[in-house]
Structure 1
Amino acid sequence: MTGAPIPIFAFPPDEDRVEEIFTRLARVMPEPKTELNFADPFTLVVAVALSAQATDVSVNKATDKLFAVADTPAKMLALGEEGLVPFIASIGLYRNKAKNVIALSRIVLEQHGGVVPLNRADLQALPGVGRKTASVVLNELGIEPAIAVDTHVFRVSHRLGLANAATPDKVEDQLHRVVPEAFLHKAHHWLILHGRYTCTARKPNCAGCIISDLCPSRGLMAA
């Protein structure tokens, strides 16, 4: 994790404070969603798989052209690994990602009739689709109130005192324990977007933050 030091606070946090944090985030972002471009479950899985260690902007630039020629498992498989590489060469780890995208396309086509399986076990069995990718897909499609803990979620959760665990998996478990059920389906997006545009790694905008008065890290982060 980069940026300012990650603070450690007591867990669990005050329930009323947590409720107010998400009430305010919901007020300014009533319908948060992924910034990745996709048209269906298959293109969503591919886009999320490509986004590992890459920005959504860079992935969208690549997939805008890629999905114009290969937006189904069959078309992706026909494109092949070498045919896929030129479309995603601008994205980090592109060769390994190309191998995984072709492999997952083959499995979806041959084992699932060309339809992306929308359950966690089968999704995570696809090459290049780990727990975090599966969580993003299931959450975005409204299938499961999953929280994918990327660097933004990890950082923001600690700064807000919503979690204090040392690993993403443990932070995920803590968030599921403290986020009110009414906010659970959108919590993933709120935390990511807040971390991407307000509570940034190196210079958080505490002055422009709608929940700064609820944040135990404000003085530390602004220092």
Structure 2
Amino acid sequence: MRIILLRHAESLGNIDELAYCRIPDHALPLTERGEGQARAAGEQLRALLGDERVAAYVSPYVRAVRTFELLGLGERIERRVQEPRLREQDWGNLQDPVEQEVQKRKRHEFGHFFYRLAHGESGADVDDRVASFLNELEQRVEYDTAHPKTALVVSHGLTTRLLCRRMFSWSIDLFESLSNPTHCEHRVLTYAGGRWNLDKPFAQWRESPDGSTQV
């Protein structure tokens, strides 16, 4: 089994934080640059996949759905599922730019995993839902003989890191030391020899306080 994790392309919210004050998070579109990133990522994925059949699980947020559409994977996609459990961390009500900054500061001070955003989610909440998704995906592959052996997951930065945290049982300290993948950057998780393997590590902005590593 193989799981390809892809972060969405650049969205309006990534270049204009005030966009969250006038557009719901789930409805933020890609930028023109983001559309180019998605097309380029499609070239990479087509080379990686060859003629292999794929089951695609996509966050229902506009930026993730549009990224998937621009990949141009065509007939390689045997199944496409909009999966709400892969959505971005819920930041609650972002209409007030001052409150946005307050929440970001508190989240940084108290930790990205346990701090629950006002009217939103904590990283731990996202961790719970991605665990449910991974468990269901593994069961589908095991018991549904028609399910492709490769799954493409188009999601978000923090969600991608938490998918890997659950898969590899990384510590909270290590998770909080990792940086998000860049826009349209992918990771490949492969199951072989009774264990999961990650094709390349995430960038780290600090060493994990507990000394643990991604290996």
Question: Radius of gyration: which is bigger?
Answer: 1
Range of TM-score over shorter length: under 0.3
TM-score normalised by structure 1 residue count: 0.23
Structure richer in helix, relative to its length: 1
TM-score normalised by structure 2 residue count: 0.23
